[in-house]
Structure 1
Amino acid sequence: MKDYMQDGTKNRLLRAASEVFSRRGLKNATVREICDLAKANVAAINYHFSGKDKLYVQVLKSYISEKESIHPVDEGVTGASKPEDMLRAFAKNMLFVLADNGDPVHRGLGKMLAHEFMEPSDIHDEVIGKSFAPKFAYLKDVVLRIYPQCDEHFAMRASAAIIGQCLLISYANGLTIKIGHSQMTTADDLDQMAAFIVEFSLGGLARLNELWRKSVQESSFIAPAETNLRGQATQMQR
């Protein structure tokens, strides 16, 4: 058991809440359990955070801030860096924020963040919107630097696909371990997975870019499968 009494009441509540939320989630965590662990009065949460929901928001914000301070989204790159290197730094940042690094508390909080992406709750805008919207815009700009001839729509789809890979790897890490893959717990693990995501994405984007250029006369990119379906529908109408 961690020694929470070394901190002030507010910090004790944050640390205790991180542990309880990571195990139980927002819905099943109770104010009493958090306060008992923090050795604090049950009224302390309302006094310091105005309720359990806002304490949960603060826990996630603190978790993101701590992770970002170790591996920021622009780690090792500048505005003059190659966009491929910027993409690699972005992927590493996303994996580090969301993935399991061997700490059970971080494992739970990272999974809750990933869950907010897939099934937004009432606190989505406060946490994901404010913390990740600027990162999404940054990623979109990086994609446009790699393929400057493409439009915003293409860049947004590409960015969503890259983030989706990071989310799936992070959220389904337990499943991948069960089917034989090792757990991502070290900086080398993150580097290797980030490099894989980047190379995989660049290969796919190059192919999509080729298709996009062929259909540049159209208002938006139409995927090959969708094009085939439209062609079949036209033939059936005839």
Structure 2
Amino acid sequence: MSTQQDLCTKTRLLAAAREHFALRGVKEATVREICAQAGANVAAVNYHFGGKDKLFIAVLLDFMEKAQAKYPVHMGLGPEAPPEERLKAYIRSLLYRLMGDGDPVNEKLGQLLSGEFIEPSADFGVVMERYITPQHEVLLGIIRELLPEADGRTVHLCAAGVVGHCVLFDNAKQLIRQVYPELDLEKLGVELVADFVQRYALAGIARMREAN
């Protein structure tokens, strides 16, 4: 059974790891530095988390839990809201988690999260099962309402397109800044990007609905 001291050490390690992973990335952050900031023995990471890689997953789980509480997929809308509005809410929720809300640590963790979508680490399945998959099911439900005649493959492709646009705007910010300097994403902000992604997605969905 964990003692209060164990729980305090684990909490300090998680807080220190959050900052170090955000600042230096997973590869460059070291267990020694994390433990030094947390005031813990270097063996504590293995004891509490099972190694640096699993500590990173614990940081992502903590990040997702807090982000889900602050930016739920429905963003305050009820199930009776039109699917177009719920799609916008879903996109806003995802973009706030990926692009950040002004907190530089959250922004960096969002970038690390989007990187996991592209090249998942060995233990990322835990994050997928607990948070990503249930949230994605919500998106699939919204797409099905917007395209009631579509087959499953089309629904999944449309959902992938929505998520892909959100990940692109986060993960390719540097490239977008170089190719299109007028698109200053930091100044445009989440709300404008969310509005664009929603309108772009709805236009494509409407065209597919006409084709059916």
- What is the TM-score with the length of structure 1 in the denominator? 0.79
Q: Deviations over 1:61-80 (max 9, x none)?
A: 11111111111101121221
CA distance in 2, matches of 1:144, 1:19: 39
For the 8 Å contact 1:100–1:184, the answer to whether it is kept is: no
* Alignment match, 2:134: 134
* Alignment match, 2:183: 181
Backbone CA RMSD of aligned residues: 1.9
Which amino acid in the other structure matches residue 151 of structure 2?
A: D
Which amino acid in the other structure matches residue 169 of structure 2?
A: I
Which amino acid in the other structure matches residue 92 of structure 1?
A: R
After superposition, residues 70-219 of structure 1 pair within 5 angstroms as 70-178=70-178, 179-184=181-186, 189-211=189-211, 213=212
CA distance in 2, matches of 1:209, 1:183: 31
Q: Post-superposition shift, 1:45?
A: 1.2
For the 8 Å contact 1:165–1:197, the answer to whether it is kept is: yes
CA distance in 2, matches of 1:76, 1:64: 18
Q: Post-superposition shift, 1:140?
A: 0.9
CA distance in 2, matches of 1:189, 1:108: 16
Q: Post-superposition shift, 1:204?
A: 1.1
Q: Post-superposition shift, 1:52?
A: 1.4
* Alignment match, 2:57: 57
Q: Post-superposition shift, 1:123?
A: 1.8
Count the aligned residue pairs.
204
CA distance in 2, matches of 1:45, 1:160: 36
CA distance in 2, matches of 1:169, 1:79: 28
- What is the TM-score with the length of structure 2 in the denominator? 0.88
Structure 2 gaps, min length 5: 1-6
Identity %: 37
CA distance in 1, matches of 2:85, 2:14: 35
Structure 1 gaps, min length 5: 1-6, 214-238
Q: Deviations over 1:163-195 (max 9, x none)?
A: 00000011122333452333447xx93222212
Per mean C-alpha deviation after superposition, the further-off stretch among 153-162 and 114-123 is: 114-123
* Alignment match, 1:19: 19
Q: Post-superposition shift, 1:162?
A: 0.2
